[in-house]
Amino acid sequence: MKPPAFKYVAAGSVEEATARLAEYGDDARPIAGGQSLVPMMNFRLVSPAVLVDIRRIAPPDAIEEADGHVRVGALTRHRALETSPLVRERFPVLAAAMGHVAHLAIRNRGTIGGSLCHADPAAELPALAVLLDARIHTASCSGERIVEAGSFFEGALWTALEDGEIVTRIDFPLLRPGTGWGFREFARRHGDFALAGAAATVTGSAGRAVEVRIALFGVGETPVRATAAEALLTGTGLEPDAVAAAVDALRNAIDPDDDLHASAEYRRHLAGVMAERALGDAWARVGAGAGGGAA
Amino acid sequence: MSKNTPAGMAEAPRPGIVGARVQRREDPRLLTGRGSYTDDRKAAGAVHVAFCRSDRAHARIAGIDIAEAQQAPGVLGVFTAADIDAVARPIRATSNMPDYRATEFVPLARGKVRHVGEPVAAVVAENRYLAEDAAALVSVDYDPLPDAADPEAALEDRVLLHEEAGTNLIAAREFARGDVDAVMADAALVVEDRFRIRRKTPAAIENRCYLAEFDAGRQALTLHGTTQVPGLLRDALAEIFDLPGHRLRVVAPDVGGGFGAKASLYPEEVVVCALAMRLGRPVKWTGDRMEDLTATSQAFDEIVRAKLAFDADGRFLALEADVIGDIGAYSIYPWTASLEPVQVVSFLPGPYRIANYRGRVRAVATSKAPTGPYRGVGRPVSTFVMERLVDMAARRLDMDPAELRVRNLVRDEEFPYKSGSGIVWDRAGFQDCLRVTLDRFGYAERRAEQAAARERGRLVGIGIASYAELTGIGSRISAAPGMPINTGTERATIEIDSTGAVTAAFGIASHGQGLETTLAQIVAEELGVRVEDVGIVHGDSAAVAHSTGTYASRSTVLAGGAATLSARSLRAQVVKAASHLLEAAETDIEMRDGVVSVAGTDASITLRELARAFYTEMRRIPKEARESLDLSASATYDPFFGTTTAATHIAEVEIDPQTFGVAVRRYVVAEDCGRIVNPMIVDGQVHGGVAQGIGAALLEEVVHDDSGQLLTGSFVDYVVPSAAEIPDIDAAHLDTESPSTLGGYRGMGEGGTIGAPAAVANAVADALSGMDIQINELPVTPERLFRLIRPDL
Amino acid sequence: MERIDIGLTVNGVRHERQVEPRRLLSDFLREDLGLTGTHVGCEHGVCGACTVLLDGDSARSCLTFAVQCDGASVRTVEGLGAPGALHPLQESFRRHHALQCGFCTPGMLMTALDLLAKYPLATDDEIREGLSGNLCRCTGYVNIVNAIRETAAARGDDTG
């Protein structure tokens, strides 16, 4: 299980990285923390001819608030996102989710840009990006663009990134005051990719949910928003009947795969359980006034 | 750790060193990265092997194109079956059991492949990276052969794995006592089911690794390897390469866990030896995890139909079982394919009084990696099946499962007790283990808590498992299957050298059990020196004239027995020498903490002085007396039958009623493992075994698709438990001396894995007892529970 | 074959080497520097045996290319105590019999050091979850948890 040979190029800036990626074309892959890429190379599932090391691009890991967003540099480590006071204040759901990413040693190295680009359907960060309507900033030789998280993930390990394009930043629009959150996932072994998981935010006002968001992961090719369920719950007080109807709706809306660890039917079932629990947590936090983003 | 000495059992004498929590001498080097595992060993000029392995489960090899690989950078050569077969004589795991068919040992595939991961070609290159690059360039042309993965289908012999055998049925056996059919027919009550335990792999954290060095000047071959059985390997390689033992040495340095996986002869071992001799350079193969999960011996793959008859009072009347063992592609050397499945029927009656028994087993070849020994061997399966039947019977009787066990476990006054399969239990605390476990667990109180939790809709379950095993097996029993080796004896040589140092040499091979420490404790106590005075040599075929190694819960009993005999003999020599030197009668000589003295006087001599007098100061002891002395003693110990080890486990689990995740909340074991050498190490063995058993019950499963393609080739997919899945484990020890072994020791390395799958399965079944479902398949994954509980979906 | 110059500090000692880009840090430490205390168990980031401290943070050396460690500071198990002078965490492992075959132990120790530096480890659950990226097949984890619990409670003493 040794990786195949490759040419190594270190890039010192976004411009240099994108120029190098353009130069080498399809044969090149960017590498930062390498926590998703290196295992695949060790199994020889991927064999890039060139790795462009983008880990030293400055500013590497800024997390800052500006223009109604929290902006996170693509090279930010999972661990930094998990422990950032700003993230904990503004997006406690994101900080909580990062605590579920694999293990400390992986979170110390893995970058959020890397996780988004790897696009594992069971990964936490892509689901959080979808939940929080994140805006993903990219750069290539052709220029910069912004891709909505909802259209960034196109399939399992497949994104809207074009050849030679890298993620530079991810912006999370601030949540409205009075927003509670929940994050639940179920894995057979602690730290493993979840068989299914759900993240939810609920914004409450006068005992009613005025905005509900639910993102599911591990239940299909990409993380998905449970839009039908969100609609069913908006305006309700998340009464048991309303939640049950929403859970039915989201189970019907997803199309999980069978694999070694779980059947599609079980994943469908589990997605509903996780969503129900995440919604319950979110609604309880609304009630407790402890929702994140309620500045 | 506690000492519970049941009434009626002799309390073990407990002076000094044996029985003490001596800190392990292995630890300082292992804790500081100064251990010496096989892959740590550097040999000048070493080259590295990567194997081209079959990606087909069953196919004929139409051709192998090695041209491109041979031209790859850094490659010294690419080798296939003919290259190895030219220098390696055939060997096979023979047995005198009727209805057994040995299969050839195949270093590199000859003409066909029989499982995914089977080595087809060996690529030698300057380093492992280059070897892997080139291995990917070997092109094998396969003609597919029909699927042969399902054991029940394989029994129909429509597709043959080994054409020359004429059948896939590699071994068959039946044990019978009494008129089972008549008793079953008349019995008031019967429970029965079809049980299945899915294939496991031992998954030691250190992968297999071998380094062969051939000294062309001396024509001598040395193999360093991750093996539990250096002596056994030496003997096998001597036969394969026709080398005398003094030109062939197998060394197991520090070994990173074995659990049975490193106790057989492997193709890779033969290949690196053959290539080292051919190339004249050291040849190393460092297996990786993918290779471990595809090509290391696997285990516990049985389908068992079993039936238990009992009367209205819960007395067991008859037991019947039909076992199909999926043994994979080859009958593993030297243990044979019968090892695992035959043990299932041998041990199925367990520690219970059952007058009538019939157990039938068929071992069938399939296109999967060969099965071999794995911690527990057969007994995790037999215990799972028997203990499920006991709990099913308790439920039928509406009787507490603990009470049903009390009624049927063999009682102290019934020992020795001969089981329905012919096993004789010499004496062990079957009832006491149960009693102590229930006490430690707080059984009555926990049952009350469970009832309260259930009222609140929680799925809490308590599961008991009792078992008995034979450990420290001697020649009488080891010879029975007619294997080509003797596992029933162990040898030790203890010497005092000219510096006065004590060195004890053994053929066993510690690989985590701390035998360097425990054997030093035994030697120190028997000889009369301090533990730190005793050097231990092990894991080296050159250490003693004959040995097999460490497996089957044998090393403390057998090597400990050999240590005891040789230490006593050496002590007598020391006493004789001292009687000359101190001018005192032998009966007045004492030896304690390495100092030899005359009782009741100030006269004494250290071992260092004694050795100098004996070896160097030639005038101190008269010539004739000196020549009749020897500060070296060897002895071989044969426990002949072996002894009984028994335990009861209790697990408490809680099942999430929505996700069906199972959490083990509490775990208690009480074990009768005889006289304890080092309680700290004994506790550790129990903990580790239980964790593997919990893994077997809940998480671990080698999965193949219908065609035999392996789906669990990584640690992502073969799920071994982490710290988060294992609870604290409370281990209690009865600490009663075995009546049958020297020193009173019993083997105890495997018990945790034997009891835990059954205890967890019973706990899960108990938690779900309000539902009409059966827990008859392990691992009981969330997916399986989902299917059981929600059949509508 | 392309080779790249790197310079890094390992256990306080500066090393300058040329490496092939694909060389894993685990192989670099073991083969090029002879620091065989770092063990390789799976090479896909699951077992944790190869864990080292990279610029102070625990990292999988099997998922890190040596070339990416140019300028870095690495600490391996050889950088803790020596056989005659064990680090307090190593002492605790020994006292509690928290190792058997010893193969996972270096990775356990390096992970535990990072956990002790970053987490309260106030409960066994927290310790167990923190350790869940390091597989041990021998100990059943019971004594590893005991050793770390004791070390966590004694923090304030030198654990680094």
Q: What is the CA radius of gyration of chain A?
A: 19
Work out the average pLDDT over B297-321.
97
Task: Please report how many Cα atoms fall inside a 13 Å half-sphere around the Cα of residue B130, on the Cβ side.
Answer: 17
Q: Is residue C158 part of a domain?
A: no
pLDDT in tens, C22-56: 999 999 999 999 999 999 999 999 999 999 999 99
- Judgement on whether residues B115 and B240 belong to the same structural domain of the protein: yes
pLDDT score, position B483: 84
Domain containing residue C136: 88-153
Q: Which domain holds residue A48?
A: 7-53
pLDDT in tens, B672-684: 989 999 999 999 9
Give A137→chain B minimum CA distance, Å.
32
- Given B589, B618, B637, which residue is the final one in a domain? B637
pLDDT at B242 over 90: yes
Q: What is the mean pLDDT of residues B52-77?
A: 98
pLDDT at position B5 over 80: no
Do residues B467 and B330 both lie within one domain? yes
Question: Position of tokens 């950088």?
Answer: C79
Are residue C69 and residue C106 in the same domain, yes or no? no
pLDDT of B1 reads 39
Single out the residue of B448, B515, B471, B433 nearest to residue B731, CA to CA: B433
Beta bridge partners of A8: A51
Q: Which of residues 159-218 of B touch A (CB under 8 A)?
A: none
Amino acid letter for position C23: R
The answer to whether residues A134 and A207 belong to one domain is no
pLDDT of residue B792: 64
Whole-Å CA distances, A6 to A1, A29, A245, C62: 15, 10, 52, 17
Q: Which residue has the tokens 């367990």?
A: B350
Contact B206 C131 (CB under 8 A): no
Query: What is the total count of domains within chain B?
Result: 3
Q: How far apart are CA A132 and CA A215, in angstroms?
A: 9
The yes-or-no verdict on residue B217 having pLDDT over 50 is yes
| Arithmetic mean of pLDDT, A161-184 | 96
Chain A residue with minimal CA distance to B289? A1
pLDDT at position A58: 74
Return the CATH number at C23: 3.10.20.30
Going along C46-99, which residue ranges are E strands?
A: 51-54, 57-60, 73-75
Average pLDDT, chain C: 96
The residue among C35, C58, C79 that closes a domain is C79
Question: How much is the pLDDT for B484?
Answer: 84
pLDDT (0 to 100) of residue B3: 40
Distance from B129 to chain A by nearest Cα, in Å?
Answer: 6
Per-residue model confidence (pLDDT) at position C159: 44
Q: Is residue C43 part of a domain?
A: yes
Question: Tokens 């939810």 identify what position?
Answer: A200
At B690 the three-state DSSP class reads helix
The confidence score (pLDDT) of residue B480 equals 80
B290 touches chain A (CB under 8 A): yes
Same domain, C93 and C71: no
Mean pLDDT within C99-114: 98
Sort out which chain B residues have CB atoms less than 8 A from C39's CB and list them: 37, 205-206, 256
Contact A267/A186 with Cβ under 8 angstroms? no
In a domain, B742, yes or no: yes
Q: In terms of Cα–Cα distance, which of A125, A236, A132, C138 is closest to B205?
A: C138
Is residue B182 in some structural domain?
no
On whether the CB atoms of residues C75 and B17 are closer than 8 A, the answer is: no
- Asked if residue A58 is part of any domain, the answer here is no
Q: What is the pLDDT of residue A61?
A: 66
Q: Which of C35, C59, C79 is the last residue of a domain?
A: C79
Closest among A278, A202, A211 to A247, alpha carbons compared? A278
pLDDT at position B640: 93
CA–CA distance, B109 with B119 (Å, rounded to integer):
6
What was the pLDDT predicted at B15?
Answer: 55
**Contact state of C68 with A79 under an 8 Å Cβ cutoff:** no
Residue A112 belongs to domain with CATH number: 3.30.465.10
Percent over 70 (pLDDT), chain A: 97
Q: For residue C159, is it within any domain?
A: no
pLDDT in tens, B274-299: 999 999 999 999 999 999 999 999 99
- Specify whether the CB–CB gap between B504 and B534 falls below 8 A: yes
Q: What is the CATH number of the domain that holds A36?
A: 3.30.43.10
Query: What pLDDT is attached to residue B793?
Result: 55
Helix (H, G, I), strand (E, B) or coil at A165: coil
CATH number for the domain spanning B507: value is: 3.30.365.10
Q: Show the beta-strand stretches assigned E in chain A.
A: 7-10, 28-31, 50-53, 63-66, 69-73, 135-140, 143-148, 153-155, 158-159, 166-173, 179-186, 196-205, 208-217, 224-225
Tell whether C71 and C106 lie within a shared domain: no
Extract the tokens encoding C73: 């500071």
Query: How many angstroms away from the CA of A250 is the closest CA of chain B?
Result: 16
8 Å CB contact of A260 and B786 = no
Domain assignment present for residue C160? The answer is: no
SS3 content of chain B, % helix, strand, coil (to 5): 30, 25, 40
Q: Which chains are adjacent to chain B, needing at least 3 Cβ pairs under 8 Å?
A: A, C
- State the average pLDDT over residues A227-251: 98
Please check whether residues C99 and C119 belong to one and the same domain.
yes
Q: Which of B637, B656, B691 delimits the end of a domain?
A: B637
A67 and A168: one domain?
yes
Interface subset of B 8-37, CB within 8 angstroms of C = 23-24, 26-37
Do A260 and B289 count as a contact with CB atoms less than 8 A apart?
no
Same domain, A80 and A152: yes
Measured in angstroms, the CA of B693 and the nearest CA of chain C are apart by: 10
State the Cα–Cα distance between residues A196 and C29, nearest whole angstrom.
Answer: 38
The verdict on residue C141 lying in a domain is: yes
CATH of the domain at B108: 3.90.1170.50
Cβ–Cβ contact C44 with B under 8 A = yes
Contact C88, C154 (CB under 8 A): yes
Together in a domain, B649 and B630: no
Give the model's pLDDT for residue A295: 32
Whether residue B724 and residue A192 make contact (CB cut-off 8 A), yes or no, is no
CB-nearest partner of B205 from C22, C44, C49: C49
pLDDT exceeds cutoff 70 at B336: yes
3-state secondary structure B162-210: CHHHCCCEEEEEEEEECCHHHHHHHCCEEEEEEEEECCECCCCCCCCEE
CB within 8 Å of chain C, chain B residues 614-633 = none
Whole-angstrom Cα distance, residue B508 to residue B518?
A: 12
| B187 domain residue, yes or no | no
Dihedral sign for Cα atoms in the order B227, B231, B236, B239: positive
Q: Does residue B772 have a pLDDT over 90?
A: no
Whether C10 and C55 map to the same domain: the answer is yes
Domain end: A173, A199, A233, which one? A173
Provide the number of structural domains found in chain A.
3
Q: What is the largest CA-CA distance in chain B?
A: 93
The angle at the Cα of C131, spanning C125 to C134, to the nearest 5 degrees, equals 150
Whether B477 has a pLDDT exceeding 90, the answer reads: no
Contact B110, B261 (CB under 8 A): no
CA B501 remoteness from chain centre: 33
Q: Identify the domain boundary among B592, B616, B637.
A: B637
Range 116-135 of B in CB contact (< 8 A) with C? 129
Amino acid A173: pLDDT: 98
**Digit-coded pLDDT (tens) for B159-199:** 999 999 999 999 999 999 999 999 999 999 999 999 999 99
Domain with residue C108: its CATH number is 1.10.150.120
B343 domain residue, yes or no: yes
| Domain match, B620 and B707 both | no
If pLDDT is split at 50, 70 and 90, which confidence band does B791 have? low
User: How far C65 CA sits from the closest chain B CA (Å)?
Assistant: 14
Q: Give tens-digit pLDDT for B612-665.
A: 999 999 999 999 999 999 999 999 999 999 999 999 999 999 999 999 999 999
pLDDT for res B12:
40
pLDDT for B348: 97
Per-residue pLDDT tens digits for A80-129: 999 999 999 999 999 999 999 999 999 999 999 999 999 999 999 999 99
Which band of pLDDT confidence, cut at 50, 70 and 90, is reported for residue C61? very high
Q: Which residues of A touch C60 (CB under 8 A)?
A: 35, 105-106, 109
Q: How far is C3 from chain A (nearest CA, A)?
A: 9
Give the mean pLDDT of A210-229: 97
Q: Is the pLDDT of residue B9 over 50?
A: no
Chain A contact for C7, CB < 8 A?
Answer: no
A293 found inside a domain: no
> Same structural domain for residues B661 and B680?
yes
Q: How confident is the model at residue A60 (pLDDT cuts 50, 70, 90)?
A: low
Whether residue A1 lies inside any domain: the answer is no
Verify that A68 and A169 share a domain, yes or no.
yes
Answer whether residue B1 is part of any domain. Answer: no
Q: Are residues A168 and A232 in the same domain?
A: no
Is B494 found in the same domain as B461?
A: no
Among A151, A173, A195, the domain-final residue is: A173
Same domain, A205 and A146: no
Rounded to whole angstroms, the Cα distance separating B559 from B743 reads 11
Which one of A146, A173, A200 terminates a domain?
A173
Residue B304 · residue B344 · CB < 8 Å = yes
Same domain, C30 and C96: no
Q: Which residues of B59-69 are buried (b: 16+ CB within 10 A; e: fewer)?
A: bebeebebeeb
Q: Are residues B620 and B750 in the same domain?
A: no
Give yes or no: residues B709 and B654 share one domain.
yes
Whether residue C21 sits in one domain with residue C67: yes
What is the pLDDT averaged over residues B147-154?
96
Q: Is the pLDDT of residue B10 over 50?
A: no
Asked if B678 and B748 sit in the same domain, the reply is yes
Q: Any alpha helices (H) in B214-312, and if so which ranges? A: 230-241, 267-279, 289-295
Question: Is B288 in the same domain as B370?
Answer: no
Q: Which domain holds residue B429?
A: 302-476+640-789
**Domain closes at, from C53, C79, C105:** C79
Residues C9, C75 within the same domain: yes
pLDDT per residue as tens digits for the range B107-150? 999 999 999 999 999 999 999 999 999 999 999 999 999 999 99
Residues from chain A that touch C134, judged by Cβ atoms under 8 A, are: 103
Indicate if B74 and B118 belong to the same structural domain: yes
Residues C93 and C66 in one domain: no
Average pLDDT over all residues of chain B: 95
Helices B430-441 and B401-408 sit at what angle, rounded to 10 degrees?
A: 160
Nearest to C133 among A6, A42, A104 (CB): A104
> Is A261 in Cβ contact with B717 (below 8 Å)?
yes
Give yes or no for C56 touching A (CB within 8 A): no
- C-alpha closest to that of B736 among B2, B183, B5, B1: B5
Same domain as B633, residue B506:
yes
State whether C134 and B722 contact (CB < 8 Å): yes
Angle between helices C88-95 and C105-118 (to 10 degrees): 120
> What b/e sequence results for B144-167 when a residue is b if at least 16 CB atoms lie within 10 Å of its CB, and e otherwise?
ebebbbbbebbbeeebbbbeebeb
Are B153 and B365 in contact by the 8 Å Cβ rule? The answer is no
Q: Which residues pair with B119 in a beta bridge?
A: B53
Q: What is the mean pLDDT of residues B65-87?
A: 98
- Surface-to-core class of residue C154, CB atoms within 10 Å of its CB (0-12 exposed, 13-18 middle, 19+ buried): middle
Per-residue pLDDT, averaged over B80-106, amounts to 95
Residue A295 in any domain: the answer is no
Percent of chain C with pLDDT over 90: 95
What's the number of domains chain C is made of? 2
Residue B652 CB neighbours (<10 A): 24
Is A69 found in the same domain as A153?
A: yes
Triad C91, C94, C98: Cα angle to 5°: 125
